[in-house]
Amino acid sequence: MYIEDILEKATDPCTHPDELYQIYDEHKVRGYKRQILEAIGSNPNTSTELLEYLFAKEPNMADIVFDNPVMPLLILEDPLLVTNWFIKFHSSIFRYNKLLSLELQNIAVRTERIEIFLHLVESKTTVPSIIEDIAKRINIEKYIIGNYEIANLIFKHPNTPESIKNLQLKKPPLATVL
């Protein structure tokens, strides 16, 4: 089968989800893998399980999967679908997706998870509004145990708004020895 035929099947919304998985499985290590991944990730007939895997484990596929025409229906059915993907797979999502859309960054920050906040402030592509949102959520003006590392990263982030950079970070109290 030629690549053109494979891509035609991968983009055809009438292709059965099992066949889409088979195409993915058979061609995931080929030189033209990226074209196939994007076609399958954009196909509205791709199974939710495969969409989840592509979103979480394949490089730079999160936004492609999120833009799949079926995603609004899946989110209508399960409003926390993408949020749960972030909670469950945050390490691989941030490892494999160097640039997330603003919409996905907003979903990630709404998880209220410290480990996800860390991923966002460690990424040089996180937008200023998200950095500012995280600063507000951790109450950056006051030292909060467990958030000092995030606060330091926020102050050093290249996209941190000046209003946040101008705040004075309160150092954690020194432990007293009895």
pLDDT one digit per residue (tens) for the chain, 178 residues: 688 899 999 999 999 999 999 999 988 776 678 899 999 999 999 999 999 999 999 999 999 999 999 999 999 999 999 999 999 999 999 999 888 999 999 999 999 998 999 999 999 999 999 999 998 888 776 655 556 788 888 989 999 998 888 875 555 555 555 5
Question: How many Cβ atoms are within 10 Å of 75's Cβ, its own excluded?
Answer: 15
Confirm whether 9 is domain-assigned.
Answer: yes
Question: How many Cβ atoms are within 10 Å of 91's Cβ, its own excluded?
Answer: 12
Host domain of residue 44:
1-98
Confirm whether 178 is domain-assigned.
Answer: no
Whether 120 contacts 108, CB under 8 Å? yes
Structure pTM?
Answer: 0.84
> Are 25 and 77 in a shared domain?
yes
Q: Give the separation between CA 120 and CA 122, rounded to whole angstroms.
A: 5
**Which of the listed residues 69, 98, 127 is the one where a domain comes to its end?**
98
Question: How many Cβ atoms are within 10 Å of 132's Cβ, its own excluded?
Answer: 17
> Are 65 and 133 in a shared domain?
no
> Are 107 and 91 in a shared domain?
no
> Are 38 and 77 in a shared domain?
yes
- Domains: count for the chain: 2
**Residue whose C-alpha is closest to residue 170's, from 132, 129, 142, 128:** 142
Question: How many Cβ atoms are within 10 Å of 97's Cβ, its own excluded?
Answer: 21
